[in-house]
Amino acid sequence: MQRSREVLGIAVIVGVGLLFALGNTLANLAYAGGSDPVSLSTARFLFPAIALAAILALAGKPPTLPRRDAVVALALGIVTAVYTLALLSAIEILPVALAVLIFFLFPILTSVILAVVGWERLPLTTIAAGVLAFAGLALALGVNRQALSVVGVIYGGIAALGLAIVSAVSSRIIRSGDPRPVTLYILAMASAVAIVIVLFRGEYLLPHTVSGWWGFGGSVLFSGIAM
């Protein structure tokens, strides 16, 4: 039984990673069709938030959280808005594979954060994996030097650190409870931040090509399922 749960957990993690990667890869199609990171990130927050609210309502699950947890979840929503916008901007600037490679340093960063704040130990295997991951990234950056943008790399680093923070802190809020209300609070705040940015700049860029719409819709769908 325990073995089955472990296998299921690994399968879920792999599946979520693949969905995120697919959603982020499709972002380039949306950009080529006329959209941009701000517009895409707004949709990637808003539609999953609406869908999750509907799911909770149909399930009869109150979406409320204790006050302290709610405040933390809303703060994580701001972090989520920042890291998602940074990731989608990195994908716009860098080759997709390189941007995603930088972003997927977040599991190592999550372990480091958990160890630094004293919530978990940092095992030697994680340290070794971190060294190998950063070595691989350094090699990739060296190989792709001609296509390298310092700004894009910084965006990718911000995205990885942001998701690491959200992963580390949200795990303490969720504990062994239902993660959906926490996720809803995070998505709701991220949606609000994105909408404010859209209103401030005064435009929302939708794709104007068929392939752009496929990329836009696919990115929203797959990233939403992953969340």
First and final C-alpha spacing in the chain: 26
Taking alpha carbons only, the member of 217, 222, 188, 223 closest to residue 49 is 188
Residue 177: is it exposed, middle or buried by C-beta count within 10 angstroms (0-12/13-18/19+)? exposed
Residue 217 lies in a domain: no
Give CA–CA dist 100/196, Å, rounded. Answer: 27
Residue 46 lies in a domain: yes
Taking alpha carbons only, the member of 187, 20, 209 closest to residue 96 is 20
Number of domains in the chain: 1
Residue 15 lies in a domain: no
Residue 20 lies in a domain: no
Local structure of 33: helix, strand or coil: coil
Is residue 42 a contact partner of residue 191, using CB atoms and an 8 Å limit?
A: yes
Predicted TM-score of the model (pTM): 0.84
Residue 195: C-alpha distances to residues 7, 65, 89, 102, 223 (Å): 39, 23, 17, 27, 18
Print the domain residue range for 65: 38-206
Residue 28 lies in a domain: no
Residue 145: is it exposed, middle or buried by C-beta count within 10 angstroms (0-12/13-18/19+)? exposed
Residue 219 lies in a domain: no
Residue 27 lies in a domain: no
The label of the residue with tokens 């990667």 reads: 21
Taking alpha carbons only, the member of 147, 146, 136, 57 closest to residue 95 is 147
Residue 78 lies in a domain: yes
pLDDT of the chain along its 227 residues, tens only? 545 554 554 565 667 667 777 888 888 899 999 999 999 999 999 999 999 999 999 988 888 888 899 999 999 999 999 999 999 999 888 887 778 778 878 888 888 888 888 777 777 776 676 677 666 666 655 555 555 678 888 998 999 999 999 988 988 888 767 888 999 999 999 999 999 999 999 999 999 999 999 999 999 998 888 77
